[in-house]
Structure 1
Amino acid sequence: MSKIKLIAIDIDGTLVNSKKEITPAVKEAVLAARERGIQIVICTGRPLSGAQCYLDELGLNCQDNEYVVSFNGAVVESTNGQVIFKQGLKYEDYIDLEAIARKLNLHFHSVSLDRIYTANRDLGHYTIYNSRVVKLEVSYRTQEEMRHIPIIKCMYIDDPDYLDSKITSPLF
């Protein structure tokens, strides 16, 4: 068997428990792997800002040679914030996704590297919660104002049962 060189770890439900904490056993395993020279890469749907507290705890933050795969793979960057790869969404994709949200009466937001945006003045509590988890502020922007904002990720964000009921609607 060849030597393990890299371990990729998701945050929610893998690196952290339901209380959003790294357990002592997990921390010990990660630190032991690092001591053996294994590269640890955090992979997450969150932006870098939403992973930093865990990177701090593991001694991986603010470094040129430590990496995070964020936004569900749309961005790869060093933990000091140097973007190595970025695949965002086109404005036209944003318009289509936002139109579906309006048609289905769903809360929807888009995310850039440093901010969450919504075209809905009625912020959903899941958007606020997500903002706190990923440590990004929320801004209201019209569709037209979004034209020149580099969008990395978009989300329909509501109560899971409500989302399920809408996803199974005739529109889909």
Structure 2
Amino acid sequence: MTTHGKDTLEIRPLEPLAVEFTSSWHYEAGALIDEIGTPHGLARWVDAYRPRLGMDASTPAELGAPDVTAALAVREAVRDLLDALVDGGRPPAASLDLVTERARGVQRAAVGWPEAGPRLEWPDGVRVMDIVGAQVCASATRLLTSPRRGLLRRCPAPSCVLFFSALRTGQQWCSPACGNRARVARHSARTR
């Protein structure tokens, strides 16, 4: 998706896949962007994340409206879990159940070792959205149950809805742009 002539799909390779998937919904220049809200957008996201999903380039990403509905449900459930972790609360039981159930789908993959090196091999007939749901939810369960969960933050910058891992000491925002927006907002509030 583009806004103001700029590609909005930004890959942050150090973030867990679950955090990246929740980041498919964000604000850009004050406009709400939903990267996976259409079949084309979801297919584009899948293509960008193929290596992290364990999908090779030959797996076609033919996705339709039911896949978008499934993707949005997964994103909402994962976001509920991340919100609960950051806020110190409990997630809705339905979200926890959906993530747990979808994460079990990774058991369908096997590690193959062709000439090019190790890779995940999914059985024939596994749908692309099943792979996406399994990998994103497995990433969420690994994040939530690992020591890395202590690094998860919600960006406090104005108009930002992203989560990020605070990988640097004192990191407060998901990006330098959000840090600048927050400083400008503070300065404006002081001068008013």
Q: TM-score higher than 0.5 here? A: no
Q: Smaller-chain TM-score range? A: under 0.3
Q: Which is richer in strand? A: 1
Which one has more relative contact order, counting CA pairs under 8 Å at least 6 apart? 2
> Scaled by the length of structure 2, what TM-score is found?
0.21
